[in-house]
């Protein structure tokens, strides 16, 4: 069994369609079909999202993932296009600080199989 203490409302980001809210990340798609994954500060433990957040956790998770993708890019192709939001109207209001440093922009059909 898994769940949220209280399921968060998705943040509306201009130019992006909200697809899914997970335990820690939110998934969006732009009009070209590219995906934007945004890491939140939510905490997940034993398949439950706890009510307390860790400040800047989403930024740290995103930057750590991007560092590894960049380091290994010459060895293994990956799905990452950028760490910035795709070209669209810039986020405003609640979405502006929420997206800063937390975004991974990727191809939506870039799954690679290692044999």
% of the chain at pLDDT higher than 70 = 71
| 30 occurs within a structural domain | yes
- For residue 80, the SS3 value is strand
| 111 occurs within a structural domain | no
Contact 109, 35 (CB under 8 A): no
Kindly report the average pLDDT of the chain as a whole number. 76
d(CA 37, CA 27): 5
What is the helix (H) or strand (E) element at residue 37, kind and residue range? strand 35-39
For residue 114, pLDDT beyond 60: no
Q: What pLDDT is recorded for position 21?
A: 86
| 114 occurs within a structural domain | no
- Domains contained in the chain, number: 1
Range of the domain at 58: 3-106
| 68 occurs within a structural domain | yes
For residue 52, pLDDT beyond 80: yes
| 57 occurs within a structural domain | yes
Domain with residue 46: its CATH number is 3.30.200.20
Of 15-19, 58-62, 80-84, 89-93, the one with minimum mean pLDDT is: 89-93
| 112 occurs within a structural domain | no
d(CA 114, CA 93): 42
What is the helix (H) or strand (E) element at residue 98, kind and residue range? helix 95-99
């Amino acid at each position: 069994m898994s769940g949220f203490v209280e399921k968060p409302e998705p943040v509306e980001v201009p130019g992006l369609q909200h697809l899914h809210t997970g335990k820690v990340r939110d998934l969006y798609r732009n009009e070209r079909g590219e995906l934007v994954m945004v890491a939140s500060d939510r905490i997940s433990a034993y398949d439950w999202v706890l009510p307390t957040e860790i400040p800047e956790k989403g930024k740290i998770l995103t930057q750590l993932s991007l560092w590894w993708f960049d380091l290994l890019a010459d060895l293994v192709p990956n799905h990452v296009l950028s760490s910035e939001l795709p070209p669209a109207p810039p986020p405003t209001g609640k979405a502006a600080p929420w997206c800063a440093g937390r975004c991974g922009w990727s191809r939506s059909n870039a799954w690679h199989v290692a044999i």
